[in-house]
Structure 1
Amino acid sequence: METHTHNWLERTELLLGSEKLELLRNAHVLVVGLGGVGAYAAEMIARAGVGRMTVADADTVNATNINRQLVALHSTVGRPKAEVLAERLRDINPGIGLTVVDKYIKDEETYILLDAARYDYVVDAIDTLSPKLALIAASLERGLPLVSSMGAGAKTDPTKLEIADISKTHHCPLAHMLRKRLHKIGIRRGFRAVFSPEPMREGAIILCEEQNKKSNVGTISYIPALFGIGCASVVIRDLIGELEG
């Protein structure tokens, strides 16, 4: 069976040129959190031709993920998200150097993961504040370029999406809480955030007591995907030297 692996990046090379495509082939990108945002970010990064990736998440696919998560199908319910995504990424690029970490990245695991390899970029798609803060702080401490997704839930307007330094985020509750925590440890700027200032819809959040989360937030199919694509665009454009600002 013909695999077509010889020319699958032909259109990307036509757009970017061979030298910039080679920069992507030689890059290693870490994506932490493979839910509604992170899986889309990872897939877009892989489809752009990044040669090495590490993806991390210990969660399994739940039926409630099907409305918005790339890895979630009725046929994948109960399977590890990292495993399902890894199959997709290897099918997109059979030559990808892929490391799969089936663990929740928090506490000591954050430092172990960041010190396990030399990364050219980190994508933070964690939706819980404390491990998110730890990943950001530890990445910046190591001088690693990073892009972070803010809250994608309870929103419906794709035209409100913005990408800016964390210091310039506004009207986003998660970004506000994160900035306050970062200020306490001396971090005020230094990484880009994908966010939306669209007001959160009333009644779209309910409290819960599930593992690693304290609330469930209503979501629509396309908003988390756009946040992930925004994160991927930052990574790709920065790696090839085309990100302004």
Structure 2
Amino acid sequence: APPQKKGKGGGGVYNLVRRSPVLSTLRKPYGIYANKKEEGFETDPIIEQDWDKLRFGGIERLYGSEYLSKFQNSHICIVGVGGVGSWTVESLARMGVGEMTMIDLDDICISNVNRQLHALSSTVGRQKVDVLAARAQDINPNIKIHAISDFFTNYTAEALFGPRRGGGKEFDVVIDAIDSVDHKADLIHECVLRSIPVITVGGAGGRMDPTQIKVSDLGCVTHDPLLKSVRKLLRSRYGYPPLNTDWGVPCVFSRERAHFPTERREGGEGSKMDCASGYGTATHVTGTFGFTAAHVTAQTLSRNSRPSAYPYCIQSFESFVKRGSSFSRREN
């Protein structure tokens, strides 16, 4: 039998292997010893090949081997990895997603600790995408990560959505977790034009009750001022269809009204926000938003099809352009 060593925390026992290919003797995950050579021990290459079966066996038993394979062969782009996006990254990494692109220019503030996964005393001042990339790689050493320190705007769209950096595959799903109304509208429109499924997220700030978080189509969503403004901009700038029309853009939102326990209100739009600005927020809400976005992503991947309503949006946009009302790319 292979030697055993006490694991840290909880008093559990983690099995280590000394050049032994016998996987059947390993009854528990490797825990803190996964991918690490301990003094006097060396992991066997055959065992290493089966670590993914142990890491993501629970996902396979839940979704099935076919869908796990889809997750492992998918490329997900998360734009904005703050209070919501960081939790989405965590969930997708633990689902076995094989490739992720994270786009965000912000660094970590101490005031992010109340709601953002990567915000720790030891990470303050570091780039959010860098910290999350290291964490995702630690969760799944086989994941391919593209950490891009930038913001999505009309000026960066082609660079971010054009030929893939590092030879990565095209995006299977894009998750919009940014705050700016302008940039959300432009990102959604970019995805529609490229026929990339996009999932958008509404405002989490000021909400206390995670049970009021729902999923609807952007063309029909209610109770969310941020998404209302995004929808209005998509209609005025790009000629999107009328209200209460299915646009093929699922959105995660809360039916709860935002709370203002203090006089401070959310600041204006812009690129880099002050660390202390905005609504009050809590992890149990932002995390639920992020995990719900990951759930919708899994549903989208399992369907393996492009949103059927996109052609309607594109047709509406093209008619809008012909009337001379807009341009495919704004010129500011």
Q: TM-score band (shorter)? A: over 0.9
CA distance in 2, matches of 1:237, 1:211: 31
Taking a change above 3 Å as real, the CA distance of residues 47 and 84 of structure 1, as seen in their structure-2 partners, is: same
1:197 Cα deviation after fit: 1.6
2:278 alignment partner in structure 1: 216
Report the count of equivalent residues: 244
In 2, distance between residues paired with 1:106 and 1:179? 17
In structure 1, C-alpha distance between the alignment counterparts of 2:207 and 2:140, rounded to whole Å: 33
Which one of 151, 165, 173 corresponds to residue 225 of structure 2?
173
The residue number in structure 2 matching 1:206 is: 265
Does the Cα contact within 8 Å between 2:205 and 2:278 map onto a contact in 1? no
Q: Which runs of 5+ in 1 are unaligned?
A: none
Deviations 1:169-214 (A, max 9, x none): 1011101111100111122422000001211113454255785348
**Partner of residue 183, structure 1:** 235
The equivalent residue for 1:228 is 290
> Which of structure 1's runs of 4+ aligned residues deviate more than 4 A?
207-211
Match of 2:174 in 1: 122
- 1:92 corresponds to which of 133, 139, 151: 139
Q: Distance in 1 between matches of 2:267 and 2:202?
A: 20
Q: Which has the higher contact order (CA 8 A, sep 6+)?
A: 1
**Preserved contact between residue 172 and residue 195 of structure 1 (Cα < 8 Å):** yes
Change (3 A) 1:124 1:115: same
Question: 1:221 Cα deviation (Å)?
Answer: 2.0
The CA distance in 2 between the partners of 1:161 and 1:207, in whole Å, is: 20
1:240 partnered with 2:298: no
Decide whether the 8 Å contact of 1:28 with 1:53 is kept in 2. Answer: yes
1:47 and 2:90 are equivalent in the alignment: no
What residue is the counterpart of 2:42 in the other structure?
none
State the identity as a percent.
35
Given the alignment, which residue of 41, 50, 72 partners 2:119?
72
TM-score normalised to structure 1 length: 0.93
Contact residue 128 and residue 212 of structure 1 kept, 8 A: no
Query: C-alpha separation between the residues in 2 aligned to 1:219 and 1:91?
Result: 28
One-letter amino acid of the structure 2 residue matched with residue 223 of structure 1: V
TM-score (norm: length of structure 2): 0.70
Give 5+ residue unaligned stretches, structure 2: 1-32, 36-47, 165-169, 242-246, 309-332
Structure-1 separation of matches of 2:114 and 2:289: 15
**Is 1:82–2:129 an aligned residue pair?**
yes
* 1:138 alignment partner in structure 2: 190
Per-residue deviation, 1:110: 2.0
Change (3 A) 1:154 1:103: same
Instruction: Give the partner amino acid of 1:147.
Output: I
Q: Name the SS of the counterpart of 2:252 in structure 1.
A: strand
The structure where strand makes up a greater share of residues is 1
8 Å CA contact retained: 2:74, 2:98 = yes
- Quote the RMSD (CA, aligned, Å): 2.0
SS in 1 for 2:126: coil
| 1:14, distance to aligned residue in structure 2 (A) | 1.2
Return the alpha-carbon distance in structure 1 between the equivalents of residues 216 and 267 of structure 2: 31
Paired amino acid for 1:149: V
Q: Tell me if structure 1 keeps the 8 A contact 2:105–2:151.
A: yes
